[in-house]
Amino acid sequence: QVQLVESGGGLVQAGDSLRLSCAASGRTFSNSVMGWFRQAPGKEREFVAAIRWSGDSSYYADSVKGRFTISRDNAKNTVYLQMNSLKPEDTAVYYCAARPGSVYHQSPLLYTNWGQGTQVTVSS
């Protein structure tokens, strides 16, 4: 079982930056995909970005492409989400998730492990 713990959320102003972290422990998969999702009040959980534990590729939702960067530190079993040029519409609870395998998916239903979430609030 994989345990995921997010950190780094907070209250910022539009245009500011934040970096979220997701520390993984337990039975981590060398062949797995790590994803970031977000959920705003009254809305469905939506895909933000994903990265494999191995390799150089990553995958982004169109709404964050060019502003957010996902990365990982394999030695620390940690995945990061660098968020730049934040907008009020980025306000949400951000979740880290994991799924075995190497295929990227945007559906949260295909991710098997989840963190507790961290709140990001962007004021205008």
pLDDT at 54: 84
Q: What is the pLDDT along the chain (124 residues), one digit of tens a residue?
A: 789 999 999 999 999 999 999 999 987 667 889 999 999 999 999 999 999 988 778 999 999 999 999 999 989 999 999 999 999 999 999 999 999 888 999 999 999 999 999 999 999 9
51 touches 87 (CB < 8 A): no
pLDDT at 29: 67
| CA pair distance 112, 118, nearest whole angstrom | 18
The dihedral over CA atoms of 43, 45, 46, 49, expressed in degrees to the nearest 10, equals 140
Could you tell me which of 84, 100, 95 has the C-alpha nearest to residue 30? 100
Q: What type of residue is 11?
A: L
Residue 103 dihedral angles phi and psi, to the nearest 5°: -90, 130
